[in-house]
Amino acid sequence: MIRALREMGAVRSDRVAEVFRAVPRHWFTPGAPLDKAYAPRDAVHMKHDEQGRPISTVSSPQLQGSMLEQADIQPGMSALEIGSGGVNAAMMSWLTGPEGRVVTVDIDPDVTARARQLLDAAGYQRVQVVLADADNGVPEHASYDRIIVTVGAWDIPPAWVEQLAPGGRLVVPLRMRGLTRSLELVREGNHLVSRSSLMCGFVAMQGAGANGGQMLPIRDGKAELQFDDGWPGPERPALEGALDTSRVDAWSAVMVGGMESLDLLQLRLATTFSGFGRLAADEDQRPVLVEQGCIFFDSAVALPDSFAYLVARRSAGGSELGVHAFGPHAQDLAEAMVEQIQVWDQRYRGGPDPDFAIWPRDTPDDELPDGLVIDKRRCRISISWPPTTNRPHPHNIPK
């Protein structure tokens, strides 16, 4: 497992490799087969809700390793984990050493009881387990040199920022326009700035920090668009009959390989189009959405009466990216999305990532950097793309 994590780049330092050796994962995943507990890319689901959806997991080693590298926990530090499970708190405790302090907090009494039992059995009695809504942090043990959030956060509560010690670091999987990235954040003046970011996925936060977004049904709910931060505009889009219009197909002449991540492309679309959302559809809608031999991705953009989504068609050299669209303004929307696919290919493919910053909720617009601003309940998030020059990519189809 550790060798695989190093090859993936999830583990880069000897200290993080050693903490994986020192804390046996299977102690914290009772009932899971060993090959599942130690699968580098797999999370282990520990609790489900009434609909069978996971609400408590032990994160994958790949994600744990990446976030521990982001946190850079040193001996003697005070650290807070938001979202308990046991194994991550044990690893944090090993990294802080006997002179350090680790607090782990969760809103679910079943989760905290299990974490307490497993930590004690594994010899990590000094980890403090707190049952509380982490929206308020854990003020009685503040301040913290490191705060690691291990549930999907839609917002950044002021308490998390206030409880950071000077020079502290917050590592949080933050959901922005339906896309979640683990941000390594440090204080700069009155706000936080990102030093690194990586694509990830987590179960959603419960309690005061929960946010379910908005669902827009299409064709009697057999397809739907999901919007993370409310409707794209002042009024709810009207797309119920859109799939009954003629589909518009547009192709970008940009090729991708089978294992290439489209994370930055999705982020580029999300920061360019105010109507960015995620498309979900029943299997019987696939013939309407794509032709045989094509695939569609859940990245979508909506106007009040039209919507479009990212697709790919396979060929001998890989897959060509394109856009399918429905509605009265399908052609214009498809062409605009294709243009952004080409911008991603020419300027941002393979990096650089945009810069993320977390600002107080009352920050005036003229104090924010250029780029997209997402207003949450308790903060403002700015996402700014660095300037780049056009660069040819070998996967492009000759024009």
- Predicted confidence band at 394 (pLDDT cuts at 50, 70, 90)? very low
pLDDT tens column, 323-354: 999 999 999 999 999 999 999 999 999 888 99
Q: Calculate mean pLDDT across residues 188-197.
A: 95
Question: What are phi and psi for residue 63, nearest 5 degrees?
Answer: -70, -40
Per the CB < 8 A criterion, the answer to whether 323 and 311 are in contact is yes
Residues 6+ apart with CB under 8 A from 115: 84, 85, 86, 89, 104, 106, 129
What pLDDT was estimated at residue 384?
96
Structure tokens at 146: 């490191």
Residues 50-71 pLDDT 10s: 666 655 678 899 999 999 999 9
What pLDDT, on a 0 to 100 scale, did the predictor assign at position 219?
Answer: 85
Determine which of 146-150, 185-189, 254-258, 324-328 has the lowest per-residue pLDDT on average: 254-258
The tens digit of pLDDT for each residue in 161-179 reads 999 999 999 999 999 998 9
pLDDT tens readout for residues 257-279: 877 889 999 999 999 999 999 99
Average pLDDT over residues 290-316: 91
**320 and 252 in contact (C-beta within 8 Å)?**
yes
Instruction: State pLDDT tens for residues 206-222.
Output: 777 677 678 888 888 88
Catalytic annotation, residues? 59
Distance (Å, rounded) from C-alpha 199 to C-alpha 246?
35
Contact in structure between 138 and 103 (CB atoms under 8 Å) = yes
Query: 């998390």: which residue's tokens?
Result: 160
Rounded distance between C-alpha atoms, residue 58 and residue 358, angstroms = 27
Share of the chain above pLDDT 70, in %: 92
Tell me the two tokens of residue 279. 């498309």
pLDDT of residue 204 exceeding 90? no
Q: Give the separation between CA 347 and CA 197, rounded to whole angstroms.
A: 18
Residue pLDDT, tens place only, 83-118:
988 999 999 999 999 999 999 999 999 999 999 999
Q: Give the pLDDT confidence score for residue 398 in this predicted structure.
A: 32
For range 360-381, the mean pLDDT: 95
How far apart, in whole angstroms, are the C-alpha atoms of residue 45 and residue 360? 35
Confidence at 396, pLDDT banded by 50, 70, 90: very low
Cβ-contact 172, 149 below 8 angstroms:
yes
pTM for this prediction: 0.90
One-letter amino acid for residue 93 of the chain: S
DSSP 8-state symbol, 253: E
What are the angstrom distances between the C-alpha of 397 and each of 17, 269, 340?
Answer: 41, 21, 16
In 3D space, the residue among 33, 37, 41, 43 whose CA is nearest the CA of residue 7 turns out to be 41
pLDDT at residue 352, as a whole number: 87
Task: Collect all residues with Cβ–Cβ distance below 8 Å to 51 and sequence separation of at least 6.
Answer: none
pLDDT of the residue at 391: 54
What's the token pair of residue 63? 């994600």
